Every structure is written in C-alpha cells, then in structure tokens.
C-alpha cells in the first residue's frame, strides 16, 4: 500500500511522477514488488506500482532531474509540496527514495489492462 495525495496520483497516472521520497517509513517497500495506491487510509485505488529502485539520500541532494521525476517543475515547487505534506524542509534530513512504474489498473468490471507510461491504455 502506498498513500498519495490526489495531485500526486494524477501525476502518476499520466507518467509525470515516477519517484517519491519518504521520511523514515514504518516499513520499507521492496524493489520488484507491486503495491496498490491508496487515496486515503481507508480507500484503495485500482492503480498498482512496481518499485524499481530504492536508495537513501539527503533532501538537499535532490537534483533537477529528480525534481522532475517527483512531478515538479522546480526545486521551489517541490520544497513547497514537501512542507505542505511533512511540515518542514531540512536539507540534511536523510530520506528513502523510491522509483516506480505504473504497471496496471483494474477496470470497473474487474478485468485488468496495462498502462503505458504516458498514461494511455
């Protein structure tokens, strides 16, 4: 299970967001495993993500390319979103970085189809 805000879920579905940073997680997501996205603590989406890479990094070491993978145009935009979600920006804080791919989504009738990375089916 991976919880995302609505704006992040939308970026994932169109292929704009392929990376996420998390503070010390309660449990580490495993590379190669598929996880379902959640809208909130009680509501699942039908979208699934495969974790392709996991590493640790200082927040202050994020590159412009990684900001784009997070779904933002600038570091300032990313910092603002981080502060809205996490309360503060500490460039020395070490976080876990996950890279992922959207792999499939269940249709309303329960059948599955594979998403291309651009979000089309």
Mean predicted confidence (pLDDT) in 1-19: 84
Domain CATH for 82: 3.10.400.10
Looking at the structure of the chain, the number of domains it has is 1
Beta bridge partners of 105: 47, 113
- pLDDT tens per residue across span 64-115: 999 999 999 999 999 999 999 999 999 999 999 999 999 865 555 555 544 4
Distance CA 54, CA 43 (A): 25
Place of tokens 């940073």: 21
Tokens (6 digits) for 107 = 């249709």
The pTM assigned to this predicted structure is 0.80
In a domain, 118, yes or no: no
Q: Pick the residue with more confidence: 38 or 106?
A: 38
In a domain, 50, yes or no: yes
Q: Which secondary-structure segment (H or E) carries 44?
A: strand 43-58
The domain in which residue 50 lies consists of: 2-113
In a domain, 121, yes or no: no
- Decide: 5 and 85 in contact? Cβ < 8 Å: yes
- pLDDT tens per residue across span 47-73: 889 999 999 999 999 999 999 999 999
**Per-residue model confidence (pLDDT) at position 80:** 96
């Amino acid at each position: 299970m991976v919880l995302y805000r609505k704006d992040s879920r939308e970026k994932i579905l169109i292929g704009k967001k392929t990376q996420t940073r998390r503070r010390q997680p309660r449990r580490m997501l495993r590379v190669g495993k598929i996880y379902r996205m959640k809208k909130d603590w009680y509501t699942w989406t039908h979208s699934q993500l495969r974790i392709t890479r996991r590493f640790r990094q200082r927040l202050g070491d994020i590159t412009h390319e990684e900001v784009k993978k997070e779904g933002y145009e600038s570091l300032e935009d990313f910092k603002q979103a981080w502060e809205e979600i996490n309360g503060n920006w500490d460039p020395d804080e070490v976080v876990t970085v996950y890279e992922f791919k959207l792999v499939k989504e269940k249709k309303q009738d329960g059948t599955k189809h594979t998403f291309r990375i651009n979000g089309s089916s």
